Amino acid sequence: MYESRFSHRSMIVSKNGVVASSQPLAVQAGIDILKKGGNAIDAAIAVATTLNIVEPMSCGIGGDAFALIFSKKDNKLHSLNASGWAPKNLSIDYFEEKGMDKIPELGLEAVSIPGAVSGFAKALERFGTMSFKEVLEPAIYYAEKGFPVSELVGSSWHRAVEKLHTHKATAKNYLPKGVAPRVGETFYSKDIAKTFKLIAKGGAEEFYKGSIAKKIVEFSEKNNGFFTLEDFAAFEAKWDDPISSKYKDYEVFQCPPNGQGIATLLGLNITKGFEMDSMIHNSSQYLHLLIEAKKLAWADLRTFAADPEFNKLPLEELLSDDYSTKQQNRIDLNKAAENVSPGLDWSHGDTIYLSVIDKDRNVVSFINSLYMGFGSGIVAEGTGICLQNRGSLFSLDRKHLNSLEPRKRPFQTIIPGMAFQNDLPVLNFGVMGGDMQPQGQMQVFLNLVDFGMNVQQAIEASRFRHYDDNFVALEEGIDLKTRVELINKGHKLRSNIREFFGGAQAIAIDYENDVLFGGSDPRRDGCAIGY
């Protein structure tokens, strides 16, 4: 039951296309591509690459990407994994010799091969109608001509100043005056503009086998890194079959591991065993159930989400109805669980989301990320490319499925989502923000399906965020009575000061009226725009 119809923003209602993401200039870049006759895939790459410029701490060509793409050409949903692998010359031996039990989050030890550019190229080649040169025009424009820094982007930039000062090339590119740019100040990125021009001309080949790869490898060698030209030349993004679960008359799709999308499906599989329709939205009963479902889903996620090319993962069993019932029976509706183990026997030893739908109803759910703000804090000299730090998510436990191995993809947090009814996409959605992504997706999806909210209301509704240390943060709007009742059930609450509850974007399709409904999170700088 959901009583309030209030939201801070109205939905965007449009027929010919909608773009939603976390920065307005990037959203407008996508709309411009659609107006020029490009499709949703062309627009998505334009948005992602523009975000590399206007929201540089969150994403970029030095990072990774995942996408779900519904193509009207073949009426089929495709999953794209553009996450990079570990260098061939880096192994657990290196860290053991140094007496380290965890991979650091900063520096070249944390960097895996950036996969995004290969993903962009594969998406454009298979489904796009435009060239790299055409879709990169907005990014190159803002890199050369500059852009005024937006409010939350500026705030994130200021918080990263210490990190950006750790390396000369990083500071040169992102602290040109020695300080972070102020909100409203125009920022230019000449080095990345040159790099984008090279990609516009030479495509992914230039990034992985040409001058860009050579610059990154040379930089790595000069700074005791691990990259080789062979690491870059051998890498390719890959197409996968999506994974899915049923919820009522919806089928919810995610990219398969090494991403964490399976956690959304595991959580929904647990909640569907309870009388959700009878619960009051964001009541203690409702929040308790979702938090407990999240704990069970995360126990499996932390155990089984890894590179499937190195491991046989029990995905079919994890997503089965029998397993869902078993997990449902583990929930105590009156008491918070403290130590949650995986449901299967285990015997082996800052991000952006964008959503685009075009006039033909091609649908793209897309995430591009550097992982933490400005990734590893390393910019390869002369390129302007900020390198991600996804390699820090590998385990150094040799028995773990996600253990570091050469040419292996690490566990990834980035997860685009899509929901179907009657074999057609009806909802394109995502919630960026580390491990907030699956729990945020669950909350947004259930807001729509079980509580009748529109896409904007579903995004704006107050959220919880559960942490691995078993603490729960509750957003403003969840009342004191509910908080007390959750404490009485054994939940440990923490202050929500400076907590991030995710940035969501969503577009719904109304086939009866042939219109699109777009929503965008007021927790970020972005918007949804239609035409």
Give me the sign of the Cα torsion angle 429, 370, 161, 189: negative
Reduced to 3 states, what is the DSSP secondary structure of residue 17? strand
| Spatial distance between the Cα atoms of 176 and 30, rounded to a whole number of angstroms | 28
Q: Residue 250 pairs with which residues in a beta bridge?
A: 247
N residues, the chain: 531
Burial of 127 per CB tally in 10 Å (0-12, 13-18, 19+): buried
Active-site residue, from 264, 351, 413, 482:
351
Q: Residue 2: left if φ>0, alpha if ψ -120 to 50, beta else—which one? A: beta
State the first-to-last Cα distance of the chain, in angstroms, to the nearest integer.
33
Cβ partners under 8 Å of residue 479, min gap 6: none
| Spatial distance between the Cα atoms of 190 and 368, rounded to a whole number of angstroms | 22
**Is 413 among the catalytic positions?**
no
Residue 33, both tokens: 């591509």
Closest by Cα among 107, 111, 23 to 64: 111
| Spatial distance between the Cα atoms of 251 and 442, rounded to a whole number of angstroms | 13
Which H/E stretch holds residue 377? none
What b/e string do you get for 259-287 counting C-beta neighbours within 10 Å, with b at 16 or more?
bbbbbbbbbbbbbbbbebeebebbbbbbb
Which H/E stretch holds residue 314? none
Write the secondary structure of 99-117 as one string of H (helix), E (strand) and C (coil): CCCCCCCCCHHHCCCCCHH
What is the biggest distance separating any 2 CA atoms in the chain, rounded to whole angstroms?
A: 64
Cβ partners under 8 Å of residue 400, min gap 6: 306, 348, 349
CA 284 to chain centre: 28
Pairing of strands 12-14, 250-254: unpaired
Closest by Cα among 457, 369, 507 to 30: 507
Q: Are 492 and 120 in contact (CB under 8 A)?
A: no
- Read out DSSP for 109-159? GGPPPP-HHHHHHHHHHHH-SS-HHHHTHHHHHHHHH-EEPPHHHHHHHHH
**Residues annotated catalytic, as ranges:** 351
